[in-house]
Structure 1
Amino acid sequence: MPASPSSSAQAARAALAARLRELMLDAGIDGKDLSAQCGWHPSKTSRILSGKSAPSESDLRTWCTACGADDQAADLIASLRAVELMYLEWRRIHRAGMRQVQQESLALHQETSVCRAYVSNVVPGFLQTTAYATALMRSITQFQGTPDDVADAVAARTERGRLLHDGRHRFVVLIEETVLRYRIGDAETTAGQLGHLLAVMPLPSVSLGIIPFTAQRTVWPLEAFYLFDNEQASVETLTAEVTVTQPRELADYHRAFAGLAKMAVHGAAARALITAAIDALG
């Protein structure tokens, strides 16, 4: 089963550090020599080589110059940027608001043939109603203290819903029954969202499974994650979005999804759970 969702980023950071160490070895210098040539304290070199600190792009250029490998700088900078994209703090990517991130997510979904989504917290964005998305994104904005562009962000998020109808995409969704019972917004908003789930279930592009409270767990409840074809996984934590591309970890997430799917109910049984959640709203 999946390990820490940040392990892909950690592995990539370690791989970058290993490349920097190789440059030193090829140049025939040690950490003390490199630090002196770079004009910084040896502890900085140690932190970079151990993966405890990420080098800046300027650091990489200086490192390459010290090792007589200026031709390697561009490739190392590209690797650094890739590592940074693997682990993105929400406050960082929402620093100008949420709209741009939602537009980027729409683009990713447009490029994906099969999206598999497992959620244990909220309904997936491409299945959210406007009212539900508004209530959710307003609470996120308030929690993070980021600029309020909720109206524009919601419009971009709900735009994903049109992909359910264009015939080129398939969405395989697993929802923990607890998600049906969480009140995002008021009772009317939650009821509307649950009603929308019932409305999209018959669509040929949608497979919606609910994992009941009473299911015998063979896979424990996990953080929400999305699988985009066989290319990448996006894992959502409280503070960051983690992109997983390492084949071994991708295989783990696909295996977890398959295990979770075996516990889910579909069709009439799933509709009954959704209807019961609506009735419980009073």
Structure 2
Amino acid sequence: MTLPGTTRYGGMTLPRNKATNVSNVHEAQVALGKRLRELREQAGLTGKQLAEPLSWQTSKVSKIENGHQKPSVADIEAWTKATGSEDQKPALLASLQTLEIQQAEWQRILRGGVRPRQNALAELDQKTRLFRVFESTVIPGFLQTSEYARARFAEAIRVLKLPNDINDAVEGRMKRQDIFYRPDKRFHFVLTEAALRFRLCSIPVMLGQLDRLVSLSSLPNVKLGIIGFETQYTASPWHGFWLYDEDKVLVETYSAAFNLAQPQELELYSSIFNELAAVASYGRSATAIITRVINDLAQQLPEEE
């Protein structure tokens, strides 16, 4: 499935035990919970003794302390007051804010509709000179036709129960593609053959989408690599991601968008992208893979009478 941002409705499912970005965010949430537990224990309180005056379930204390539930600002304020550790509140709130920046839930991002998200991404586009994009299940938003984009947004609106601003959202995504004609921008896309074959729209729409891939790959500032089914991978294609210069990695899951900016995360994703790009086919070889998929799909169209 794809999520409403860069690509999917804009994203794809992330194997939780293998997703570095999710793991890092989870570790930070666990660390925050551990610090809150320390404050409770230093105050000599059991979980029940902390929960009762706050009218909380005891299980809430346990979930927060074990990193299974992210505390709210109000939770941290109440926790520090109850444990007599209000001097720790600024540091705890800063940790919480970092978590919320890293993990932005779609329901919060998209509560005003899908188009505002496209506008926010357009601002990021303007600041970025080099885009490196890997997708294993969908066509990246920059490369989408309006019909393919409409199918992705329709899925987002249905699954996430969003306000239906699909026409504005499609218009916004198409407008973002004007950036291809900026000479100061460079793009390197790496797609799997699976992304060309998954049935996320009708065959006629997919045929138009594949034709557009061939067309855009001829632009001088666009490098398009396709990893065919026969290719031996050196790095597993666990999930899609976008690298914006050397500043940021964006990963989308069913529920949230993860914005990663730690040096070790940037280094890791840059390394993974390089490995995936190294085994991809380019130029005529990439076009041959796309053409093969086009021919296979065309054979499945009903014959005209």
The equivalent residue for 1:109 is 125
Identify if the C-alpha distance between structure 1 residues 21 and 239 changes in structure 2 by more than 3 Å, giving closer, same or farther: closer
User: Which of 156, 159, 163 is the aligned partner of 1:143?
Assistant: 159
C-alpha displacement of 1:51: 1.4
TM superposition score normalised by structure 2? 0.80
C-alpha displacement of 1:71: 4.8
Structure 1 contact 116–228 (Cα < 8 Å) conserved? yes
Tell me, yes or no, if structure 1 residue 3 matches structure 2 residue 28. Answer: no
Code of the aligned partner of 1:258 = N
Q: What's the secondary structure of 1:241's corresponding residue?
A: strand
Code of the aligned partner of 1:29 = A
Q: Give the total of aligned pairs.
A: 279
CA RMSD of aligned residues (A): 2.6
Distance 2:183 2:91 in 1: 39
C-alpha displacement of 1:265: 0.6
1:215-237 Cα shifts (integer Å, max 9, x gaps): 11222332111122223322222
Distance 1:38 1:183 in 2: 50
Code of the aligned partner of 2:266 = L
Structure 1 contact 31–46 (Cα < 8 Å) conserved? no
C-alpha displacement of 1:247: 3.5
C-alpha displacement of 1:172: 1.2
Q: What's the secondary structure of 1:53's corresponding residue?
A: coil
The equivalent residue for 1:152 is 168
Distance 1:135 1:252 in 2: 32
The equivalent residue for 1:200 is 216
Q: What's the secondary structure of 1:222's corresponding residue?
A: coil
Identify if the C-alpha distance between structure 1 residues 160 and 29 changes in structure 2 by more than 3 Å, giving closer, same or farther: same
Runs of at least 4 residues of structure 1 off by over 6 A?
none
1:220-273 Cα shifts (integer Å, max 9, x gaps): 332111122223322222333233334334333222211111210111111222
Unaligned residue ranges in structure 2 (runs of 5+): 1-16, 299-305
The equivalent residue for 2:69 is 53
Code of the aligned partner of 1:244 = L
Tell me, yes or no, if structure 1 residue 177 matches structure 2 residue 193. Answer: yes
Code of the aligned partner of 1:271 = T
C-alpha displacement of 1:210: 0.5
Unaligned residue ranges in structure 1 (runs of 5+): none
Structure 1 contact 31–42 (Cα < 8 Å) conserved? no
C-alpha displacement of 1:67: 4.5
C-alpha displacement of 1:79: 2.7
Counting only pairs closer than 5 Å after superposition, residues 1-282 of structure 1 correspond to structure 2 as 3-4=18-19, 5-21=21-37, 23=39, 28-32=42-46, 40=56, 43-282=59-298
Per mean C-alpha deviation after superposition, the further-off stretch among 246-255 and 171-180 is 246-255
TM superposition score normalised by structure 1? 0.86
Distance 2:262 2:45 in 1: 30
1:32-68 Cα shifts (integer Å, max 9, x gaps): 3755775656554333222122222112112233454
1:132-176 Cα shifts (integer Å, max 9, x gaps): 111221133223332211111111222221122112322211010
Structure 2 contact 40–50 (Cα < 8 Å) conserved? yes
Q: What's the secondary structure of 2:78's corresponding residue?
A: helix
Structure 1 contact 8–244 (Cα < 8 Å) conserved? no
* Identity fraction in percent: 37
Distance 1:59 1:253 in 2: 34
Distance 1:82 1:153 in 2: 28
The equivalent residue for 2:13 is none
Structure 1 contact 163–169 (Cα < 8 Å) conserved? yes
Distance 2:227 2:246 in 1: 23
Identify if the C-alpha distance between structure 1 residues 168 and 21 changes in structure 2 by more than 3 Å, giving closer, same or farther: farther
